A and B are shown apart, each in its own frame.
Chain A
């Protein structure tokens, strides 16, 4: 599966950033912002609750540094995360709330993108995973 290039249509939004739909637990799909500057994939607490992740008993906590702050956030594990035809299992994600002005449910980080040869075709709003 991994060897074949998978062209994943996304959605470019304000600022030119690329959203990609991801299927969690084989049942719950959301738009995540593809972010090569994020080491870890992030889900909002709302999504975590919707897909049944228990934030009262996370795997661990990590200190997460963003541009302007460092915060301690829980790490939980999703059973599966599928981007296009690429399905990964047991993926650790951080859980962090976003500003309410952002109508985005998470970030797709390098812990997922880095498992592939990822190419961004921004002019076509497409993520290619090989």
Chain B
């Protein structure tokens, strides 16, 4: 788990938590509102493990979170036709 209150860039987060789902509280955005930095509150290979910490994050008002997978969202052995 990340050191509390250390905001990292999304690239740093992806490097630090490879091939995991991460729950990030956004802390900085670019001029267009795209997230640039955030604090990791949870990381797991299991998507469901982020549910409870997400609820905790959103007990505070005005929080914005970003959940994403740091690895390849679509494995190389799959071709997606949805």
Q: Which residues of A contact B (CB under 8 A)?
A: 6-9, 13-15, 17, 19, 21, 23, 26-31, 33, 35, 37-38, 46, 49-50, 66-67, 84-85, 101-105, 107
Contacts and interface: CB of A to CB of B under 8 A. Distances in A.
A46 B69 contact: no
B3 interface: no
Interface in B39-68: 47-48, 51, 54, 58, 63-68
A101 B75 contact: yes
A101 B77 CA distance: 10
Interface in B11-53: 21, 26, 32-35, 47-48, 51
A50 B51 CA distance: 7
A66 B82 CA distance: 7
A21 B33 CA distance: 11
Given A27-B64, A28-B64, 13 more contacts: A6-B32, A9-B34, A14-B76, A19-B73, A23-B64, A30-B68, A31-B69, A33-B82, A50-B51, A66-B82, A102-B73, A103-B72, A107-B82
Contact of A14 (B47, B63, B78, B81): B78
Given A46-B47, A84-B32, A29 B65 contact: yes
